[in-house]
Amino acid sequence: MLIKNRPAWALPESQATPESIFLNRRALMAGGAGLIAGAALPGTASAQGADPTLDLYPAKRNETYTLDRPVTPEADAASYNNFYEFGTSKDIVAASKRLVTRPWTVAIDGMVEKPFEIAFDELVRKLPLEERLYRFRCVEAWSMAVPWTGIPLKAFVDFAKPLSGAKYIRFETFLNPRMAPGQSARWYPWPYTEGLSMAEAANELPLLVTGIYGKPIPTQHGAPLRLVVPWKYGFKSVKSITKISFVSERPKTFWEGLQAAEYGFWANVNPEVSHPRWSQASEQILGTRDRKPTLLYNGYGEQVAGLYKGMTGEKLFM
Ligand code: MTE
């Protein structure tokens, strides 16, 4: 993910290195991480004390969602992250531990019957939690397959009671440059924001994720609450959400605000539509040396293709 107007030192490693070399090195690193059997997993220990939601895990798995590939080893997924609030490299586990996740409040506002705030610990016990195995495809052409635990976004939308005029749902990450040093970089449009259409939000697939690998989600993956939208590029899956707004206009998102020609609003996975600077035809499987052909809508076309019928003028795949 490249930003034109930031200094050279801030280039992420995926841009500073030719892509093929970067991907090989990453596969090696990820493969290596998997070999450290029994080593403590990054992010599982917390300086913030015992997680008050521990008793909710593991949640019951919804067996409807199956994979066509092995689950990514936890150590690989947990040590190769994008969380720009804590740095532009993939190695942000230690930095992300500065994220204070309690108390954590989520504000629900905009076009709803009644705006309100709710403590995360209350929200997570109010709505149904389930585990799902999903593929996850980053726009940088790597992918993983992980067990997420979360609240179906559809259930959350019903709970929030949006008004009929709401056309989009907008998600916002916390803003606290003292806790998250990356937010001091003023060339980014902080806070990180993302959005979906209301039709997408009502689809069965998006999850408001609270856990991963049968445990509460660690900081590097976006504790305590993040979105996961498995048919879109990973940047849509916004981490550490503090505000959810229902709005009538399409929200401007973080990456769109930086580089609209490369990262659009819809960002649906499509192997035939290249990123302006690299192919999306295949993906590197995190933690292995394997590449796999990328699937249209990341393999979730049956559930989501209908959402885009007739939207011919839209750039649905970037
Ligand atoms: N959310 C926030 N707040 N900040 C980020 O930098 N990166 C996005 C997405 N959500 C990001 C974010 C990108 S580019 C990806 S690929 C995924 O998070 C990575 O999720 P993971 O680190 O849990 O694999």
Contact between 227 and 157 under an 8 Å Cβ cutoff? The reply is no
Q: Beta strand 168-173 with 142-152: parallel, antiparallel or unpaired? A: unpaired
Atom of ligand 1 nearest to the CA of 191: 3
The arithmetic mean of pLDDT across residues 160-173, rounded, is 98
Class of domain 18-303: alpha beta
Residue nearest to atom 4 of ligand 1 (CA): 83
Q: What is the pLDDT, as a whole number, of residue 47?
A: 52
- Where do the structural domains in the chain lie, given as residue ranges? 18-303
pLDDT band (50, 70, 90) for residue 49: confident
Q: How far is the CA of 306 from the centre of ligand 1 (A)?
A: 26
78 CB-contact burial (10 Å; exposed 0-12 / middle 13-18 / buried 19+)? buried
Torsion of CA 26, 32, 35, 39, to 10 degrees: -90
Q: What is the pLDDT, as a whole number, of residue 48?
A: 67
The arithmetic mean of pLDDT across residues 140-147, rounded, is 98
Q: Look at residues 290, 218, 282 and name the one whose alpha carbon lies nearest to residue 31.
A: 290
Residue to probe by mutation, ligand 1, list 3, 83, 179, 241, most atoms within 8 Å of CB:
83
C-alpha span between 265 and 251 (Å, rounded): 8
33 has a pLDDT exceeding 90 = no
Decide which of 24 and 271 is more confident. Answer: 271
The arithmetic mean of pLDDT across residues 221-241, rounded, is 99
Contact between 39 and 75 under an 8 Å Cβ cutoff? The reply is yes
Q: What is the pLDDT, as a whole number, of residue 26?
A: 42
Ligand 1: residues with CB < 6 A are: 1, 81-85, 138, 173, 192, 221-222, 234-235, 237-240
The arithmetic mean of pLDDT across residues 242-257, rounded, is 98
Residue to probe by mutation, ligand 1, list 41, 72, 82, 286, most atoms within 8 Å of CB:
82
Q: Return the percentage of the chain with pLDDT > 70, whole number.
A: 85
Atom of ligand 1 nearest to the CA of 139: 16
256 has a pLDDT exceeding 50 = yes
200 has a pLDDT exceeding 90 = yes
Q: Provide the token pair at 93.
A: 């586990």
Q: How far is the CA of 164 from the centre of ligand 1 (A)?
A: 30
Report the range of poorest mean pLDDT among 38-52, 121-135, 184-198.
38-52
133 has a pLDDT exceeding 70 = yes
The arithmetic mean of pLDDT across residues 126-147, rounded, is 98
Q: How far is the CA of 253 from the centre of ligand 1 (A)?
A: 13
96-113, pLDDT tens digit by residue? 999 999 999 999 999 999
C-alpha span between 2 and 17 (Å, rounded): 12
